[in-house]
Amino acid sequence: MSTHLYDVIVVGAGPAGATAAARLAEAGVDVALIERSPLPRDKPCGGGLSPKAYRLLDVDVDGLVLARPRVVRLSAPRTRAATLQSRDHAIWMVQRAGFDQRLAEHAVEQGAHLIDDTFVQGVVPSEDSHVATVETSRGQLRSRAVVGADGADSIVARSVGLRAGRERQYVLALEAEGPRPEGGSRDVAIIDFGIPNGYAWFFPKGDLSNVGVGTSDRRQFRNLRRHLWEFLDRHQMTFRHPLRIVGHKIPVWRGVEPLDRGNVILAGDAAGVADPFFGEGIAYAIQTGRFASDALARFLSGDWPSLSGYSAAVQSVLGRDLRFWSILGKIVYRIPSLAVLLLSRYRLFQHLADQAISGDMSFSKSWKT
């Protein structure tokens, strides 16, 4: 067992964990950032950064952006397609391996200790808020606090008894990334609501692309591969080589629940804060990483007697937007053809959609800093 006592151990070097580690280290906190795989590592994800996400970044990622489409084509059964075109906002398309590595490197540059290729097996929190124990494949580590940012199937959450109902609500997605298909645009993204309670997508990335399909309807889980092929056929896209298709869970927000126990908190996908409509998770992950660093700084300094304020901040601030996306998703997925028809005919709806997706119009007011 290591005799070193860290101030904070962050489990998971994705956007939430790397953001929290970087900000804490910058403030002089002794941080260890643990990642189960050697970096860079693949991460199943569409790789689209919304304006909400890239406005929050503390590091320059311009060199990693493969495309910046400003046009999104929306389609649904039995209606004509709608085109959303934004003058002010683009979606930044990245590959997650390089993007996540850059965020982790930034954390190291700020002073965090990166421990990759290390599997966390469990966490024992301290109810008296003193020392937590993190069991890893390389032995035990100790810290005054722990951030669980280890994804949808979070071992940290399971260890400390948080988000016990995480299997009740999530989006299951299949996606593939590779050379741009024949018939695929270089600068137009596609969202196709041709699957119950979900959608298929095409994201252009220069000479590359990402295609996928996801739904929260468990009855459709076994049909996802078929839905993906039907989507590609509808949009006349063909690949010269077989696709490497991978599946993953997107843990969408399902309402207010505790995200702290003792001296342990959850962030990012471990906290289940992806939006229930589009399944966007990167922006919310980065924001929870920011909230985590602020909360832990106050907790470690003694200003906060517990970390319950972190749960309250995430659920009260981000929950405002997430409730909106949850309600909107239920409406659109019930009648997607009507939603697309309204967007195709009325500029007002197009403007409102652009403002909501970009974060310029939100209930949380947290996307511009």
Quickly state the pLDDT bin for 185 (edges 50, 70, 90).
very high
What is the sign of the dihedral through the CA atoms of 306, 260, 57 and 351? Answer: negative
Does 71 score more than 70 pLDDT? yes
Question: Tens digit of pLDDT for each residue in 337-348?
Answer: 999 999 999 999
pLDDT of the residue at 87: 84
Nearest C-alpha neighbor of 9 from the set 154, 144, 155: 144
pLDDT of the residue at 357: 87
pLDDT of the residue at 80: 92
Does 369 score more than 70 pLDDT? no
pLDDT of the residue at 349: 87
Does 234 score more than 80 pLDDT? yes
% the chain with pLDDT above 70: 98
Higher pLDDT residue, 31 or 353? Answer: 31
**Residues 72/190, Cβ–Cβ less than 8 Å:** yes
For 262, residues 6+ apart whose C-beta sits below 8 A from its C-beta are 125, 126, 127, 128, 129, 132, 160, 307
Lookup result for tokens 């070097």: 13
What length is written for the chain?
A: 369
- What is the pLDDT averaged over residues 20-27? 98
**Residues 367/283, Cβ–Cβ less than 8 Å:** yes
- What is the pLDDT averaged over residues 322-347? 93
Does 62 score more than 90 pLDDT? yes
Domains within the chain, CATH numbers bracketed:
5-45+96-167+252-335 (3.50.50.60)
Quickly state the pLDDT bin for 363 (edges 50, 70, 90).
confident
pLDDT of the residue at 366: 75
Does 231 score more than 80 pLDDT? yes
Distance CA 35, CA 25 (A): 17
Nearest C-alpha neighbor of 210 from the set 47, 24, 4: 47
Amino acid found at 226: R
- What is the pLDDT averaged over residues 246-264? 93
- What is the pLDDT averaged over residues 40-54? 93
What number of other Cβ atoms are within 10 A of residue 136's Cβ? 19
Nearest C-alpha neighbor of 148 from the set 310, 369, 316: 310
pLDDT of the residue at 247: 95
Question: Tens digit of pLDDT for each residue in 103-159?
Answer: 999 999 999 999 999 999 999 987 666 899 999 999 999 999 999 999 999 999 999
Question: Tens digit of pLDDT for each residue in 258-295?
Answer: 999 999 999 999 999 999 999 999 999 999 999 999 99
pLDDT of the residue at 166: 76
Find the angle CA(104)-CA(107)-CA(111) to the nearest 5 degrees: 140
pLDDT of the residue at 255: 84
Distance CA 133, CA 9 (A): 10
pLDDT of the residue at 368: 61
Mean pLDDT of the chain: 93
Quickly state the pLDDT bin for 3 (edges 50, 70, 90).
confident
Does 327 score more than 80 pLDDT? yes
